[in-house]
Amino acid sequence: AQSVTQLDSHVSVSEGTPVLLRCNYSSSYSPSLFWYVQHPNKGLQLLLKYTSAATLVKGINGFEAEFKKSETSFHLTKPSAHMSDAAEYFCVVIVLSGGYNKLIFGAGTRLAVHP
């Protein structure tokens, strides 16, 4: 069965320092992987997606993620954190269920950014 594991439930960084949010996946075939962000009292917003094209994927707000098949990882990074990046981040894998796409979410990583 396909699944994702987010390795950290909380990550805390200082403003201006790099961000690393870790995600490992389990899949019997080449997966479609996504990162979503959820700000307080807001819905989820798609940050970026990997669908078997380039392994380095660039998203919105300066975020990027690298698909590494050998490590079964899809870690999210950003060179320099902003206060506005404080939010919860979800790694997501798409599974096919009865011919239809279904999103399987990781447990989430809460990112805190300190001045």
Partner 1 sequence: KAGVTQTPRYLIKTRGQQVTLSCSPISGHRSVSWYQQTPGQGLQFLFEYFSETQRNKGNFPGRFSGRQFSNSRSEMNVSTLELGDSALYLCASSLEQRGPYNEQFFGPGTRLTVL
**Residue numbers of the site for partner 1 (CB under 8 A)?**
32, 36, 41-46, 49, 51, 90, 94, 97-108
Smaller CB distance to partner 1: residue 15 or 59?
Answer: 59
Q: Copy the structure tokens of residue 17.
A: 């320092």
Smaller CB distance to partner 1: residue 67 or 81?
Answer: 67
Report the nearest approach of partner 1 to the CB of residue 5 (Å).
Answer: 12
| 35: nearest Cα among 113, 98, 71, 88 | 88
Give the number of other Cβ atoms within 10 Å of residue 11's Cβ. 18
Q: Strand 10-14 vs strand 109-114: parallel, antiparallel, or unpaired?
A: parallel
Report the nearest approach of partner 1 to the CB of residue 53 (Å).
Answer: 12
